[in-house]
């Protein structure tokens, strides 16, 4: 008994002495809690530095955006190939995610060797080797010719601008293949794969192993938002708020950041804690001066650190009686697996002896105890450092979420963590001590990072498929040159048809005579009232024209026309108009003066004379009853009579296109066309009387209001109408009518966009598949919103804000799609409008037998004025389709009221002359 006690006493004394000796020797490797807290704070600062745009270029910790935006939600599915390159083993896998609706992942895998001549040889050969292994795998698994998406786990720092791309910043760990740095590894591998003819593989995602690990664990535990590798190398990733990531546009949601914490200290930030052993190890490594934090922590280096320490201690006579073996002198002779074995709880000491003997040493009992303690200090330091950096990440997550307690899961992988008997326990304990306000669960990634990589690939392949669906929809709006030429030809035919006596009554492009026969000549003068009804705004104006000087003064007031009145009874509408006139006259102090009035009425009217016109049918947003077929001038006169307050002399009824042409014609006598691209779409132009069969006389010209909005109402352009156009038409006030207008004007473009968005949402491609009440609301996309969304000056975030103002809760991806949809719809509108205009100018050129036609088009309308691209595309199209016409576009700054007043002035003069005769 006594002997046993004595032995125990002797042994614990020996142990104590040895431990003290080693502790003294490795004093610098033992990090106090305060030091760890300090390191944690330093790492927090490093993360900030890496995330901010201006400090990122010089930051040691690169904080790389990964373009992985969400953790798996269980909806991922499909069959994928996967490569896992960069850890201690190289693997090729086939992953089947979610079979028959079950949340299950099946994997078949094959390890392949990674010979050192390959990883340190020529880069092209490295990728060819990888491709060869993949080819072999596909052959053995009978996957030849199968089209499969591939997820590549590539465990090195890569700069990504999208998921399927990664430029290698530098090799780390054991790799050093030539000519790969600064190149995109995805295209390198893709190129290598092309050598195998039957390989039809698309690399959809490149992920770091930390990311793969996080995703693997997140598939089982949705709280997992951090991934850590403690293996050959060490690194971590976590989900960061987009608003904190300067390098990527957008601010909603989160994105996974690959910290590349292995490089922490590369700028000197950890010099105070690095020891002579760390420096010596670094000098002998493949990448001196790089990955300094990693070299204090990870599996590739721990054994070597122990060896360097033992060698130094032996040299100092502190171990093995001062004896050294040649093995102890040899780099790499002690590996991490040895360190782990020596630290085993029970067999540790026996293992230590065996290992040392294998190294050609003759260790005493005391030596074994000391060596074991060296291992403990080295691996403890590793776990401590990892814990400090991880604690910094957890603190950041907690701050981002602004919570008192953070509940989170950390996914972990790597051989050191997995095979070292004490490592996980120590790491967990220190992390919990450093961030007591976090409840952390550590989850070991059992199936490596490929399962997670497959999740990312699944999402990427869904995105790719969705992209195809979106492109399919947008393609419907892309018109070929042939299609545009066809539209031009058809429009031309319709113009002729409408001018002919026998077909005029049936024509869908109505070609209405306006009884406006000349442009203003500058002799017009007087004071006139004008009404401007039918565009976005209803205005009453007073226009004073001074003769000779071609100058006009205008006073105007905008009045609202409530929806109830636009779509009420005719009497109500005209009473309201007269009420507005009364208000205006009051406001101008003009009551009692019987002024001549020009009435801009922007709807199709069959005119018998300049002051008579029967409304053919309402268009756009108007639908007042008892007006169609009636003379609107009479209706206005009746309403004035009903009110019995003032008298007005209604001299001219004018379409807005005609008013616009006149407004511009006052300045440019070459202006013989008026175009409106606004709420509605229409055009008028000066036609030779001899071509206008429905009006007597062959001399001179008359302005024809084409009412081209009705183009296509006979079905002649059905081939380019889409289901969305049909839907917009069906939901409109005048189904089947104004088909061309419904593809080209402001009132409808937004509606087309809305229909497309609804469809894309139904297909699950937008707004998370949720059709909101807002989106169901007709008319939410007014022209001005469309114009704003499409502005080139607008960043994505602003687009998103506009959508939010409209009540559409969208992500940044949604905003991109919405912008594209708007672009496709407005582009088609501008092209179609251009094709129509090309038809008109070409007709004018040919009718006059001219080689070249020079003509000015007066234009008005909010779409033309506000939209950032409409006018340009329209002009380009005209140039393309009517190359022999030099068309000048002149924007009508003063609206059509001025033109209406000029027409009234001319009409008044003629009226007077007639009276005098």
Chain positions contacting ligand BG6, by CB under 6 A = 84, 86-89, 153, 155, 209, 212, 229, 231-232, 299, 413-415, 448-450, 532, 534-536, 600, 602, 656, 659, 676, 678-679, 746, 860-862, 895-897
| Closest separation in Å from C-beta 534 to ligand BG6 | 5
| Closest separation in Å from C-beta 864 to ligand BG6 | 8
* Structure tokens, 710: 């009705």
Contact at 8 Å (CB) between 874 and 833?
A: yes
Burial class of residue 186, CB neighbours in 10 A (0-12, 13-18, 19+) = buried
Can you tell me the distance from the alpha carbon of 336 to that of 803, in angstroms, rounded to the nearest whole number? 56
Which of ligand BG6, ligand GLC, none lies near 862, with the C-beta cut-off 5 to 8 A by kind? ligand BG6
Which of ligand BG6, ligand GLC, none lies near 494, with the C-beta cut-off 5 to 8 A by kind? none
Q: Which is nearer to ligand BG6, 196 or 576 (CB)?
A: 576
Q: Which is nearer to ligand GLC, 235 or 325 (CB)?
A: 235
Q: How many CA atoms lie within 13 A of 741 on its CB side?
A: 29
| Closest separation in Å from C-beta 11 to ligand GLC | 40
Distances from the Cα of 45 to the Cα of 54, 99, 259, 697, angstroms: 14, 44, 13, 87
Q: Which is nearer to ligand BG6, 155 or 826 (CB)?
A: 155
Backbone angles phi, psi at 561, to 5 degrees: -115, 110
* Structure tokens, 109: 């895998």
Q: Which of 510, 539, 739, 800 is catalytic?
A: 539
Which of ligand BG6, ligand GLC, none lies near 520, with the C-beta cut-off 5 to 8 A by kind? none
Q: Which is nearer to ligand BG6, 395 or 896 (CB)?
A: 896
Can you tell me the distance from the alpha carbon of 373 to that of 18, in angstroms, rounded to the nearest whole number? 8
Q: Which is nearer to ligand GLC, 363 or 604 (CB)?
A: 604
Distances from the Cα of 670 to the Cα of 135, 324, 517, 665, 889, angstroms: 71, 103, 14, 7, 11
Which residues have a Cβ under 8 Å from the Cβ of 851 and sit 6 or more positions away?
A: 884
Contact at 8 Å (CB) between 210 and 256?
A: no
List interacting residues with ligand GLC (CB under 6 A). Answer: 86-87, 155-157, 172-173, 208-210, 229, 231-235, 260, 262, 294, 534-535, 602-604, 619-620, 655-657, 676, 678-682, 707, 709, 741
Can you tell me the distance from the alpha carbon of 658 to that of 896, in angstroms, rounded to the nearest whole number? 8
How far does Cα 49 stand from its chain's mean position? 26
Burial class of residue 149, CB neighbours in 10 A (0-12, 13-18, 19+) = buried
Which of ligand BG6, ligand GLC, none lies near 619, with the C-beta cut-off 5 to 8 A by kind? ligand GLC
| Closest separation in Å from C-beta 725 to ligand BG6 | 20
Can you tell me the distance from the alpha carbon of 772 to that of 719, in angstroms, rounded to the nearest whole number? 32
CA nearest neighbour of 457 among 100, 78, 189: 78
In the block, tokens 């598939």 appear at: 219
Q: Which of 278, 367, 656, 814 is catalytic?
A: 656
Per the rule left: phi > 0, alpha: psi between -120 and 50, beta: everything else, 182 is left
| Closest separation in Å from C-beta 490 to ligand BG6 | 25
Q: Which is nearer to ligand BG6, 374 or 540 (CB)?
A: 540
Which of ligand BG6, ligand GLC, none lies near 896, with the C-beta cut-off 5 to 8 A by kind? ligand BG6
| Closest separation in Å from C-beta 539 to ligand GLC | 13
Q: Given the DSSP bridges, would you call strands 671-677 and 853-860 parallel, antiparallel or unpaired?
A: parallel
| Closest separation in Å from C-beta 690 to ligand GLC | 25
Please provide the DSSP assignment of 334-389 as one string: S-HHHHHHHT-TTTHHHHHHHHHHHTT----HHHHHHHHHHHHHHHHHHHHHHHHH
Q: Specify the 3-state DSSP secondary structure of 725.
A: helix
Can you tell me the distance from the alpha carbon of 365 to that of 362, in angstroms, rounded to the nearest whole number? 10
User: What DSSP element (H or E) covers 587?
Assistant: helix 570-588
Q: Which is nearer to ligand BG6, 544 or 784 (CB)?
A: 784
Strands (E), 791-869: 853-860
Distances from the Cα of 288 to the Cα of 169, 280, 291, 584, angstroms: 15, 10, 8, 84
How far does Cα 611 stand from its chain's mean position? 54
* Structure tokens, 552: 């006009």
Q: Which is nearer to ligand BG6, 871 or 896 (CB)?
A: 896
Which of ligand BG6, ligand GLC, none lies near 172, with the C-beta cut-off 5 to 8 A by kind? ligand GLC
Which of ligand BG6, ligand GLC, none lies near 157, with the C-beta cut-off 5 to 8 A by kind? ligand GLC
Which of ligand BG6, ligand GLC, none lies near 282, with the C-beta cut-off 5 to 8 A by kind? none
Contact at 8 Å (CB) between 784 and 862?
A: yes
| Closest separation in Å from C-beta 382 to ligand GLC | 14
Which of ligand BG6, ligand GLC, none lies near 415, with the C-beta cut-off 5 to 8 A by kind? ligand BG6
Q: Specify the 3-state DSSP secondary structure of 169.
A: coil
| Closest separation in Å from C-beta 860 to ligand BG6 | 4
| Closest separation in Å from C-beta 747 to ligand GLC | 9
Q: Which is nearer to ligand BG6, 324 or 337 (CB)?
A: 337
Which of ligand BG6, ligand GLC, none lies near 532, with the C-beta cut-off 5 to 8 A by kind? ligand BG6
Can you tell me the distance from the alpha carbon of 512 to that of 641, in angstroms, rounded to the nearest whole number? 29
Which of ligand BG6, ligand GLC, none lies near 657, with the C-beta cut-off 5 to 8 A by kind? ligand GLC
Q: Which is nearer to ligand BG6, 461 or 862 (CB)?
A: 862
Q: Which is nearer to ligand GLC, 515 or 767 (CB)?
A: 515
* Structure tokens, 497: 């048809």
Q: Given the DSSP bridges, would you call strands 605-609 and 596-601 parallel, antiparallel or unpaired?
A: unpaired
How far does Cα 29 stand from its chain's mean position? 49
Can you tell me the distance from the alpha carbon of 86 to that of 229, in angstroms, rounded to the nearest whole number? 12
Q: Within 10 A of 592 (CB to CB), how many other CB atoms are there?
A: 10
| Closest separation in Å from C-beta 58 to ligand BG6 | 28
656 is catalytic: yes
* Structure tokens, 280: 């010596």
Which of ligand BG6, ligand GLC, none lies near 536, with the C-beta cut-off 5 to 8 A by kind? ligand BG6
Can you tell me the distance from the alpha carbon of 806 to that of 775, in angstroms, rounded to the nearest whole number? 9
Contact at 8 Å (CB) between 839 and 708?
A: no
| Closest separation in Å from C-beta 509 to ligand BG6 | 19
602 is catalytic: yes
Which of ligand BG6, ligand GLC, none lies near 713, with the C-beta cut-off 5 to 8 A by kind? none
Q: Which of 155, 445, 602, 681 is catalytic?
A: 602
Q: Which is nearer to ligand BG6, 363 or 674 (CB)?
A: 674
Q: Which is nearer to ligand GLC, 474 or 704 (CB)?
A: 704
| Closest separation in Å from C-beta 209 to ligand GLC | 5
Can you tell me the distance from the alpha carbon of 653 to that of 898, in angstroms, rounded to the nearest whole number? 13
909 is catalytic: no
Residues recognised as catalytic: 539, 602, 656
């Amino acid at each position: 008994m006594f002997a046993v006690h004595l032995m125990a006493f002797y042994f614990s004394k020996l142990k104590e002495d040895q431990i003290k000796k080693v502790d003294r020797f490795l004093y610098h490797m033992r990090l106090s809690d305060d030091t760890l807290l300090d390191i944690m704070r330093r790492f927090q600062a490093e993360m900030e530095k890496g995330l901010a745009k201006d400090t990122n270029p010089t930051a040691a910790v690169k904080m790389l955006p990964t373009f992985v935006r969400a953790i798996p939600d269980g909806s991922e599915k499909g069959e994928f190939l996967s490569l896992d390159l960069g850890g201690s083993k190289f693997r090729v896998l086939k992953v089947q995610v979610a079979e028959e609706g079950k949340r299950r992942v099946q994997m078949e895998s094959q390890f392949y060797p990674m010979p050192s001549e390959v990883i340190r040889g020529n880069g092209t050969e490295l990728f060819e080797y990888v491709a060869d292994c993949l080819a072999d795998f596909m052959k053995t698994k009978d996957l030849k010719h199968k089209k499969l998406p591939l997820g590549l786990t590539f465990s090195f720092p890569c700069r990504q601008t999208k998921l399927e791309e990664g430029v290698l910043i530098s090799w780390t760990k054991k790799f050093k293949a030539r000519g790969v740095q600064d190149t995109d590894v995805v295209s390198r591998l893709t190129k290598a794969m092309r050598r195998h003819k039957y390989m039809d593989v698309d690399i959809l995602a490149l992920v770091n192993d930390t990311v793969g690990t996080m995703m693997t664990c997140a598939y089982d535990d949705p709280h997992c938002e951090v991934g850590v590798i403690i293996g050959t190398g060490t690194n971590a990733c976590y989900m960061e708020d987009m608003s904190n990531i300067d390098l990527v546009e957008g601010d909603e949601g989160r994105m996974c950041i690959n910290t590349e914490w292995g490089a922490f200290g590369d700028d000197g930030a950890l010099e105070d804690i690095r020891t002579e052993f760390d420096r010596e190890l670094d000098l002998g490594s493949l990448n001196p001066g790089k990955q300094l934090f990693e070299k204090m922590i990870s599996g590739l280096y721990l054994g070597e650190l122990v060896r360097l320490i033992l060698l130094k201690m032996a040299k100092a006579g502190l171990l093995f009686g001062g004896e050294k073996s040649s093995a102890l002198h040899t780099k790499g002779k002690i590996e991490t697996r040895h360190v782990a074995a020596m630290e085993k709880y029970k067999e540790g000491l026996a293992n230590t002896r065996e290992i040392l003997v294998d190294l050609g040493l003759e260790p005493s009992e005391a030596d074994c105890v000391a060596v074991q303690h060296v291992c403990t200090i080295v691996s403890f330091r590793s776990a401590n450092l990892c814990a400090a950096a991880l604690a910094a990440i957890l603190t950041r997550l907690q701050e981002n979420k602004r919570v008192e307690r953070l509940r989170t899961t950390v996914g972990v992988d790597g051989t050191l963590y997995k095979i070292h008997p004490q490592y996980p326990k120590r790491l967990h304990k220190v992390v919990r001590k450093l961030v007591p306000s976090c409840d952390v669960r550590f989850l070991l990634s059992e199936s490596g990072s490929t399962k997670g990589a497959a999740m990312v690939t699944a999402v990427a392949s869904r995105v790719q498929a969705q992209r195809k669906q979106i492109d399919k929809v947008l393609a419907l709006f892309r018109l070929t040159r042939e299609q545009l030429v066809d539209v031009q030809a058809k429009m031309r035919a319709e113009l002729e048809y409408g001018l002919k006596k026998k077909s005029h009554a049936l024509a869908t492009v109505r070609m209405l005579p306006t009884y406006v026969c000349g442009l203003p000549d500058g002799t017009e003068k007087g004071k006139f009232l004008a009404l401007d009804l039918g565009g976005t705004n209803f205005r009453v104006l007073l226009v004073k024209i001074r003769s000779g000087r071609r100058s006009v003064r205008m006073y105007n007031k905008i009045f609202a026309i409530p929806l109830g009145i636009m779509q009420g009874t005719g009497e109500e509408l005209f009473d309201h108009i007269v009420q507005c006139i009364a208000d205006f006259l009051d406001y101008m102090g003009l009551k009692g003066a019987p002024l001549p009035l020009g009435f801009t009425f922007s709807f199709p009217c069959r005119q018998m004379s300049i002051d008579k016109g029967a409304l053919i049918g309402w268009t756009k947003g108007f639908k007042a009853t008892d007006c169609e077929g009636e003379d609107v001038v009479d209706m206005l006169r009746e309403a004035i009579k009903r009110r019995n307050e003032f008298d007005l002399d209604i001299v001219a009824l004018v379409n807005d296109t005609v008013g616009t042409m006149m407004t511009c014609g006052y300045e440019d006598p070459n202006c013989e066309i008026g175009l409106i691209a606004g709420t509605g779409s229409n055009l008028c132009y000066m036609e030779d009387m001899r071509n206008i069969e429905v009006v007597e006389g062959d001399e001179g010209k008359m302005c024809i209001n084409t009412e081209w909005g009705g183009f296509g109402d006979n079905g002649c352009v059905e081939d380019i109408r889409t289901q969305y156009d049909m839907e917009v038409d069906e939901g409109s006030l005048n189904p089947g009518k104004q088909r061309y207008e419904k593809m080209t004007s402001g009132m409808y473009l937004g509606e087309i966009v809305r229909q497309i968005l609804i469809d894309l949402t139904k297909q699950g491609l937008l707004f998370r598949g949720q059709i909101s009440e807002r989106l169901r609301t007709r008319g939410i996309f007014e022209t001005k919103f469309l114009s704003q969304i499409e502005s080139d000056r607008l960043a994505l975030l602003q687009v998103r804000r506009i959508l939010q103002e409209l009540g559409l809760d969208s992500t940044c991806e949604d905003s991109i799609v919405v912008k594209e949809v708007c672009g496709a719809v407005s582009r088609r509108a501008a092209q179609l409008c251009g094709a129509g205009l090309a038809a008109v100018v070409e007709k004018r050129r040919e009718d006059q037998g001219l080689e070249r036609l020079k003509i000015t088009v007066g234009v008005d309308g909010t779409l033309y004025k506000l939209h950032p691209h409409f006018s340009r595309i329209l002009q380009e199209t005209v140039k393309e389709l009517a190359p022999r016409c030099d068309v000048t576009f002149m924007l009508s700054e003063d609206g059509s009221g001025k033109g209406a007043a000029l027409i009234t002035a001319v009409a008044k003069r003629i009226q007077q002359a007639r009276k005098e005769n």
